[in-house]
A and B are shown apart, each in its own frame.
Chain A
């Protein structure tokens, strides 16, 4: 019987509010810089004062994509295409390699582009159907960004879009790992993409999900999250094939798990995430005692962060307090479908350097808060295996175990 296929990370690409390379992102997080800026992507009249979001600014797609015609491609797709270009370059998936071998894409996203959809509809209503562009309609489907990336980069392998709210990105990585393990694919870009737009911002504000000031995950003062945008992708390959082509191996996806809270309660969310973590640990053939760090989903949500801490405490028991914890959304904001990709790309830097970013702004936690290893301070941690978690507002929970490359740091 042949060994189970392994899933290794051979590259990454990222367009984030804190830089456009995995190294720049990790360095900025380690320095405790915030990627949140005053909103310029749309007029904020009537929405409030001093609003900030994790905008990618400046963003010049031509820096990544050259002179080909970008006109029919919307912002979400441009962010994705740019990150994909970086990931393909870094992992050695040249156009020649892509012509001979298939590489696919699994993309997490919440909206793809609700801006494109809404504007298409409003143009139709205001000016009549003949002013609604067929190009915009092609971009209105939620798999549009994944399809555009496939066309642009020649990604002929399987192409799946995964939507599960804030858990979309980690779920996309899980889906991709499952595809590689089952032999359905040998190389996949996996992660997420999301844009900030008026429609999304307005919706999240009216739903009461945004905080009044900078988000402070796990802090007692937290009152909501800040929206962010970008794209973050890993290049995942079957281990044997990656080594056969001489690829660098940066990390390994050791396990994944997901679950859902059908009750819509904080307790239910905690139970769902605890289950997802247990499944991921079992899948990785490991246990809490072998996890050296946690990249948490915490984004400043009052109930979500508490549920996440409770879930980790339940699974890790007495070890929960020793677990070094980071929460990158304290600096990046909540990028919805892109968040899982951001967490994963940032964690590669931790696996490589041993530097775990602190949680920006964390000063005071609630009484009895179990994750006492959550700290504002960036620190040096020897990380062989790390846990990534996602917990969506609507009850989607996902966990992924990433391991350092064999023989690595």
Chain B
């Protein structure tokens, strides 16, 4: 018999705030996280806006490790993870019903700890390679994000980083789902994290992908994405176990699907092939039909090509049902938080399912597809039984995840 998996906690750190309530209220209010970049000089770039996390203090969240010794993405991830565990009412180490060896971590990222390689580069260019110390290897490799999260909470089970770029959060959720379903863990922290970096900013700038003023997914006049940073972690556990301990259950993590375009490193398949296969697999895994989906959390970066090809792909899967299904992109508010993006959006799906409320696509004035419902500019109350979270990445890595309402 299949084990069903519940989402019982979530935590996030985003450009519009931190913690479940603050971020959710911000998303429903259409708050913008964009501002001129502060963490490095953008004078040589054509664009200057970013979605940085401002005023983040890791100290309340790191209790077993010295925050001064950890990279920024690790710190963001630990903060999100601690908030998620508190949200789930779980105190690792305090409660003997949680065995550390049955608790694991699956994280996603695009760049790992890019600020650590930037420090290395600064030293190399200054001719000061002798100042490179042990911290490069203890911080830079992307798996250290998962390492640091697990050390913080003493989690001794499955521990893995899946660096599937901008779809990585969904990949991590999928692996956590399989790990729990196959009985290899009782508790998984799954999510994604990325730190704002000049490397990422330079890259997207060179791809001509950064919007000059605002992010307008699905708008006819959209001009691009805006790079951001953040982290989100979801607490996942078997549904029966969650019920037995009286946990609040946001949603069931009901299925996922992966595919690869095998087409182009930075551009999606021209017919939406891989994206469609990922969605179809996720639906099949969840045992759901396309017309049963109540809400789609879009990848929706705001670049001209992404949004066009994404619409093509969802049309392939949902056909005539699509105009009746609200589909929004919160990247219109918090930008593209890279490896954190799909994890943040997964938390949105869980809250949408729990609260029958979906966040809007902001800055949407002239929808490119007149027949589709992008939830323009104001949030919507509606029964959300099934939510689908879509994410697409460099390397043609596609991942869709499905959340379903849990009836009492």
Which residues of A does B touch, CB under 8 Å? 46, 104-105, 110-112, 114, 117-118, 120-122, 124-126, 128-130, 132-134, 137-144, 146-148, 150-151, 153-165, 168, 171, 175, 178-179, 182, 184, 199, 202-204, 206-209, 258-264, 271-272, 275, 279, 392, 394-396
Q: Complex: how many Å from CA A194 to CA B211?
A: 35
Q: Complex: how many Å from CA A361 to CA B146?
A: 35
Contact of B143 among A121, A178, A208, A394 (CB under 8 A): A394
Say whether A118 contacts B121, CB under 8 Å: yes
Nearest CB of A to B171, in Å:
6
Contacts of A140 in B (CB 8 A): 111, 199, 203
Is B147 engaged at the interface, CB distance under 8 Å to the other chain? yes
Contact of A159 among B117, B125, B136, B258 (CB under 8 A): B258
Given A129-B45, A150-B261, A260-B158, 6 more A-B residue pairs with CB atoms under 8 Å apart are: A121-B121, A140-B111, A141-B110, A143-B168, A156-B260, A209-B137
Nearest CB of B to A303, in Å:
15
Q: Complex: how many Å from CA A395 to CA B157?
A: 11
Is B271 engaged at the interface, CB distance under 8 Å to the other chain? no
Say whether A161 contacts B162, CB under 8 Å: yes
Q: Complex: how many Å from CA A327 to CA B281?
A: 40
Nearest CB of B to A110, in Å:
5
Nearest CB of A to B41, in Å:
11
Say whether B258 contacts A279, CB under 8 Å: no
Interface range for B: 35 or more
Within 8 A of A (CB), among B138-165: 138, 140-144, 146-147, 150-151, 153-165
Q: Complex: how many Å from CA A263 to CA B100?
A: 11
Q: Complex: how many Å from CA A90 to CA B158?
A: 32
Closest to B266 in A: A138
Q: Complex: how many Å from CA A272 to CA B203?
A: 39
A-B contact pairs, 14 of them (CB 8 A): A124-B198, A141-B163, A141-B165, A143-B397, A147-B260, A147-B265, A147-B397, A150-B395, A155-B262, A156-B262, A206-B134, A260-B155, A262-B100, A271-B156
Say whether A158 contacts B259, CB under 8 Å: yes
Say whether A46 contacts B147, CB under 8 Å: no
Is B263 engaged at the interface, CB distance under 8 Å to the other chain? yes
Say whether B142 contacts A129, CB under 8 Å: no
Query: Given contacts A125-B121, A137-B206, is CB(A143)–CB(B393) below 8 Å?
Result: yes
Q: When each residue 86-127 of chain B gets 1 if its CB lies under 8 Å from chain A and 0 otherwise, what string results?
A: 000000000000001100110001111010011011101100
Contact of A199 among B120, B156, B158, B394 (CB under 8 A): B120
Q: Complex: how many Å from CA A235 to CA B103?
A: 30
Q: Complex: how many Å from CA A209 to CA B216?
A: 48
Closest to B277 in A: A156
Nearest CB of B to A211, in Å:
15
Nearest CB of A to B59, in Å:
20
Nearest CB of A to B266, in Å:
5
Say whether A260 contacts B104, CB under 8 Å: yes
Say whether B125 contacts A156, CB under 8 Å: no
Say whether B143 contacts A165, CB under 8 Å: yes
Contact of B159 among A111, A112, A202, A396 (CB under 8 A): A396
Is B300 engaged at the interface, CB distance under 8 Å to the other chain? no
Contact of B265 among A104, A138, A171 (CB under 8 A): A138
Nearest CB of B to A235, in Å:
16
Contacts of B205 in A (CB 8 A): 129
Say whether B44 contacts A120, CB under 8 Å: no
Nearest CB of A to B89, in Å:
21
Say whether A178 contacts B178, CB under 8 Å: yes
Say whether B143 contacts A110, CB under 8 Å: yes
Say whether B395 contacts A144, CB under 8 Å: yes
Say whether A122 contacts B160, CB under 8 Å: no
Contacts of B125 in A (CB 8 A): 122, 125-126
Contacts of A178 in B (CB 8 A): 178, 182
Which residues of B does A touch, CB under 8 Å? 44-45, 100-101, 104-105, 109-112, 114, 117-118, 120-122, 124-125, 129-130, 132-134, 136-138, 140-144, 146-147, 150-151, 153-165, 168, 171, 175, 178, 181-182, 184, 198-199, 202-207, 258-266, 274, 277, 281, 285, 393-397
Query: Given contacts A137-B206, A184-B258, is CB(A159)–CB(B150) below 8 Å?
Result: no
Say whether B136 contacts A132, CB under 8 Å: no
Nearest CB of B to A227, in Å:
11
Most B CB contacts (10 A, CB to CB) among A142, A165, A175 go to: A142
Contacts of A272 in B (CB 8 A): 156
Contacts of A144 in B (CB 8 A): 265, 394-395
Q: Complex: how many Å from CA A146 to CA B199?
A: 20
Contact of B129 among A142, A184, A202, A396 (CB under 8 A): A202
Say whether B142 contacts A163, CB under 8 Å: yes
Nearest CB of A to B39, in Å:
14
Closest to A258 in B: B158
Q: Complex: how many Å from CA A143 to CA B178?
A: 21
Q: Complex: how many Å from CA A203 to CA B132?
A: 7
Query: Given contacts A132-B203, A147-B394, A207-B137, is CB(A175)–CB(B175) below 8 Å?
Result: yes
Q: Complex: how many Å from CA A171 to CA B158?
A: 10
Contacts of B395 in A (CB 8 A): 141, 143-144, 146-148, 150, 159
Nearest CB of B to A123, in Å:
9
Q: Complex: how many Å from CA A262 to CA B103?
A: 11
Query: Given contacts A134-B203, A141-B394, A206-B136, is CB(A157)–CB(B147) below 8 Å?
Result: no
Say whether A395 contacts B202, CB under 8 Å: no
Contacts of B199 in A (CB 8 A): 117, 120-121, 124, 140
Closest to B138 in A: A207
Contacts of A156 in B (CB 8 A): 259-262, 274, 277
Say whether A203 contacts B140, CB under 8 Å: yes
Query: Given contacts A159-B258, A160-B171, is CB(A262)–CB(B154) below 8 Å?
Result: yes
Query: Given contacts A143-B163, A171-B160, A199-B120, is CB(A160)–CB(B142) below 8 Å?
Result: no
Say whether A258 contacts B397, CB under 8 Å: no
Q: Complex: how many Å from CA A133 to CA B203?
A: 8
Nearest CB of B to A316, in Å:
20
Say whether A134 contacts B207, CB under 8 Å: yes
Q: Complex: how many Å from CA A128 to CA B104?
A: 42
Q: Complex: how many Å from CA A142 to CA B101?
A: 28
| Cβ-closest 10 pairs across A and B | A147-B395, A137-B203, A142-B163, A159-B260, A260-B159, A158-B258, A138-B265, A207-B137, A163-B161, A163-B143
Nearest CB of A to B11, in Å:
19
Say whether A206 contacts B198, CB under 8 Å: no
Query: Given contacts A134-B207, A163-B143, is CB(A259)–CB(B396) below 8 Å?
Result: no
Contacts of A114 in B (CB 8 A): 117, 140
